[in-house]
C-alpha cells in the first residue's frame, strides 16, 4: 500500500508565498491529473477509514495481494486552500482523503513556516466551522490530528507532548464526530523513542511519518511511511516516472519490493 502526502493545493501564481513553498504545492488541475494517473497505473484509491478496517494499524495483518494496488491520500496542516481547491477535485474524482489538522491553530496561519511574515501574507488555516461545513458537504474528506500547534514532538517536554497528543485528539473528537479518525501525522515527520512510547498510551490507532517507503504487513503502526507529492507530480509523466523509480510500477505491472527508506526534508 502507498500513502501519499500533500500540503497546499492551489492555482499557480507568482506570489512570494507560492514560490516559497512550491515544493509542497500542487495545482487543482495537477491534483486531478495525479489522481487519474494513479488509477491509470492500476492503483485503487481507498479511504483511511477503509484501510484501518483492513488492518493498517495492526502489524500482524496478514499480507494481501490487493493491498499492493491500494493508495491512501493524506493532506497535512489544513490550509484554507484545501477547502477551496482540493475538496471539489476530490469530490468530483470520488477520491477520499484525510486532512491532518491543528486544533491549536484553527483559523490561524502557518506561523511555523512564515513567522517572520506579516499575518495577512501568511497561508491561512481553516477554522473549525469551515471544517465542520466541509465534512457535511464533502463526505469523501475525513480529519485526523497533526498535534496542536505544529511543533517538533521530539524536542518538547513530556508534559507538552502529552498535551499535543491528547488535547488535539479530544478537541477533534468532540467537534468533528464521525468525520474524525484517531490517527496522527508527526509535524515535519519528527519523532523519537520517547514519542513512540507516548504514542503507546495515546488514543491514536496509528501515526504517519515522512519516510519514503510503501506500507506492508508488519509495518510498525506508529511509523507508517508516506510518499510526498510535489508541484511536478501534476505531470503524468513525472508521476509514472516516480512510481517506476521507487519500484512500484514496472513495465509488466506492479511488484511488491522493498525500496530504500528515506526521509523527505521540507
- Greatest Cα pair distance, the chain, in angstroms, is 52
Per-residue pLDDT tens over the stretch 151-171: 999 999 999 999 999 999 999
The pLDDT of residue 261: 54
In this prediction, residue 250 has a pLDDT band, given cuts at 50, 70 and 90, of low
Q: What is the DSSP letter of 152?
A: -
Q: What angle do CA 266, 200, 148 make, to 5 degrees?
A: 45
**By C-alpha distance, which of 66, 55, 3 is closest to 211?**
3
Place of cell 513530556: 158
Domain ranges of the chain: 2-263
Select the more confidently predicted residue: 17 or 205. Answer: 205
Phi then psi for residue 247, to 5 deg, are: 75, 15
Calpha distance 29→11 (Å, rounded): 8
The three grid cell numbers given for residue 29, joined into one nine-digit string: 488541475
| Residue 1 pLDDT > 70 | yes
**By C-alpha distance, which of 78, 101, 80 is closest to 168?**
101
The pLDDT of residue 255: 43
The pLDDT of residue 114: 85
CATH number of 2-263: 3.20.20.370
The pLDDT of residue 262: 53
The 3-state DSSP class for residue 141 equals strand
- Cβ–Cβ under 8 Å, residues 6 and 26: yes
Calpha distance 254→13 (Å, rounded): 36
The three grid cell numbers given for residue 239, joined into one nine-digit string: 508521476
Per-residue pLDDT tens over the stretch 91-142: 999 999 999 999 999 999 999 988 888 888 889 999 999 999 999 999 999 9
Count other Cβ atoms within 10 Å, centred on residue 18.
Answer: 16
Per-residue pLDDT tens over the stretch 55-73: 999 988 877 778 888 999 9
Per-residue pLDDT tens over the stretch 208-222: 999 999 998 899 999
**By C-alpha distance, which of 153, 250, 243 is closest to 202?**
153
In this prediction, residue 258 has a pLDDT band, given cuts at 50, 70 and 90, of very low
Q: How many Å separate Cα 92 from the centre of its chain?
A: 20
**CA 80, 125, 207, 245 torsion: positive or negative?**
positive
- Cβ–Cβ under 8 Å, residues 146 and 188: no
Beta-carbon contacts of residue 200 (< 8 Å; ≥ 6 apart):
222
Per-residue pLDDT tens over the stretch 24-53: 899 999 999 999 999 999 999 999 999 999
Amino acid at each position: 500500500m502507498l500513502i501519499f502526502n500533500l500540503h497546499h493545493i492551489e492555482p499557480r501564481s507568482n506570489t512570494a508565498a507560492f514560490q516559497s513553498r512550491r515544493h509542497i504545492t500542487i495545482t487543482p488541475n495537477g491534483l486531478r491529473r495525479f489522481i487519474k494517473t494513479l488509477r491509470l497505473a492500476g492503483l485503487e484509491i481507498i479511504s483511511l477509514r477503509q484501510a484501518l478496517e483492513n488492518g493498517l494499524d495492526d502489524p500482524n495483518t496478514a499480507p494481501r495481494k490487493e493491498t499492493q494496488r491500494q493508495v491512501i491520500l493524506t493532506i497535512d496542516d489544513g490550509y484554507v486552500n484545501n477547502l477551496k481547491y482540493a475538496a471539489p477535485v476530490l469530490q468530483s474524482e470520488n477520491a477520499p482523503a484525510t486532512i491532518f489538522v491543528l486544533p491549536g491553530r484553527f483559523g490561524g496561519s502557518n506561523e511555523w513556516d512564515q513567522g517572520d511574515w506579516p499575518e495577512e501574507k501568511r497561508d491561512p488555516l481553516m477554522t473549525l466551522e469551515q471544517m465542520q461545513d466541509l465534512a457535511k458537504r464533502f463526505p469523501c474528506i475525513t480529519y485526523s490530528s497533526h498535534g496542536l500547534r505544529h511543533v517538533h514532538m521530539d524536542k518538547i517536554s513530556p508534559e507538552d507532548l502529552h498535551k499535543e497528543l491528547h488535547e488535539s485528539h479530544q478537541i477533534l473528537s468532540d467537534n468533528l464526530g464521525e468525520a474524525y479518525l484517531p490517527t496522527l501525522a508527526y509535524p515535519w515527520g519528527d519523532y523519537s523513542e520517547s514519542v513512540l512510547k507516548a504514542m503507546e498510551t495515546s488514543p491514536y490507532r496509528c501515526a504517519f511519518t515522512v519516510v519514503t517507503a510503501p506500507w506492508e504487513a508488519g509495518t510498525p503502526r506508529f511509523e507508517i511511511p508516506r510518499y510526498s507529492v510535489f508541484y511536478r507530480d501534476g505531470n503524468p509523466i513525472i508521476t509514472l516516472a516516480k512510481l517506476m523509480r521507487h519500484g512500484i510500477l514496472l513495465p509488466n505491472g506492479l511488484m511488491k519490493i522493498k525500496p530504500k527508506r528515506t526521509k523527505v526534508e521540507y
